[in-house]
Amino acid sequence: MERRHIKWVPLILAGLFFAYQYFSSEKFVNPETGRKSHVALSSEQEAALGLQSYQEVLSQAQTIETGPELDMVRRVASRLAAATGQTGADFQWQVALIQNPQVNAFCLPGGKVVVYTGILPVAESEAALATVLGHEMAHATSRLGSQRVLEQNLAQTAMTGVAMSLSDMDYDKQRAIMGALGAGAQYGVLMPFSRKHESEADEIGLIYMARAGYNPRESISFWKRMEHTGGSQPPEFLSSHPSHGTRIQQLEAEMPKAIEEYNKSPKAE
């Protein structure tokens, strides 16, 4: 009696497509860390998407066009932009300060930086703002978003292959397996990747900050301050980020390298 549970052809095809997606994707070597990765989008595609989102954000926001706060944000962002070196060289850097109480800041691919006024009282100093913006700019220069898109595409291919290979199996069984695999992909693959990206953005952001002339030690005071202002809901730019303890430990480990960079940079303050 024939009992077919798993179909192998879709699995093999998905495996081949998975390999094709991975090996045909652009390779990216981060000059700050020497780390190699694959990205889903070209730099041009990233920049175009970044610009599009930037225009969308600005069209729905009230931007601040003049004043000491804008001057400060611009000064920090431009010192950091200059510190990104080779990776940020092709970026068309732009900075907007948005009148909004949200504690938030981000940098879109291609170098579009958005700061909400709500983050300024939390940051308190230029060095603290440099901590946040250095981290956010490192996401963009390290092409972490584009790496993320590739990871999600690959996970999708794998899941589709498995789903098709199970299509002879009874429905409840299929659902149970797909559910378990989906959770496995989320918690076992995608989330660790996302934590790894956050640590990488911290590490590179710290170097940017130091190279821009801000004392990298200030980053630790900043994260410690954030720990105590936590409240029930963490600020948006912290969501999915590592726990404070882990983050501070990792920053301490990177500190000697950052201090060395800081010592040879013209000071900002």
Distance CA(223)–CA(113), nearest Å, equals 21
DSSP class of residue 233 equals S
β-strand pairing of 94-98 with 112-116: parallel
Number of residues that bind Zn ion (CB under 5 A): 2
**What 3-state class would DSSP assign to 105?**
strand
CB 80 within 8 A of CB 134: yes
DSSP H stretches of helix in the chain: 8-24, 43-59, 68-83, 85-88, 119-123, 126-141, 144-165, 171-184, 191-211, 217-228, 244-263
Tokens of 116: 């909400």
Instruction: Show contacts with Zn ion in window 45-64 (CB under 5 A).
Output: none
The answer to whether 201 contacts Zn ion (rule: CB under 5 A) is yes
> Least Å distance between CB 208 and Zn ion?
13
**Based on CB atoms, which residue is closest to Zn ion, 104 or 157?**
104
**Based on CB atoms, which residue is closest to Zn ion, 156 or 199?**
199
The answer to whether 132 contacts Zn ion (rule: CB under 5 A) is no
How many angstroms separate the Cα of 57 from the Cα of each of 50, 54, 77, 113, 115? 11, 5, 18, 11, 11
**Based on CB atoms, which residue is closest to Zn ion, 76 or 201?**
201
Distance CA(73)–CA(95), nearest Å, equals 8
Binding string, 67-106, against Zn ion, x = CB under 5 A? ----------------------------------------
> Least Å distance between CB 254 and Zn ion?
15
**Based on CB atoms, which residue is closest to Zn ion, 145 or 161?**
145
**Based on CB atoms, which residue is closest to Zn ion, 14 or 105?**
105
> Least Å distance between CB 115 and Zn ion?
15
Distance CA(129)–CA(142), nearest Å, equals 20
Tokens of 132: 């946040």
> Least Å distance between CB 139 and Zn ion?
5
> Least Å distance between CB 77 and Zn ion?
16
Instruction: Show contacts with Zn ion in window 171-200 (CB under 5 A).
Output: 198
The answer to whether 133 contacts Zn ion (rule: CB under 5 A) is no
**Based on CB atoms, which residue is closest to Zn ion, 18 or 223?**
223
Q: Which residues bind Zn ion (CB under 5 A)?
A: 198, 201
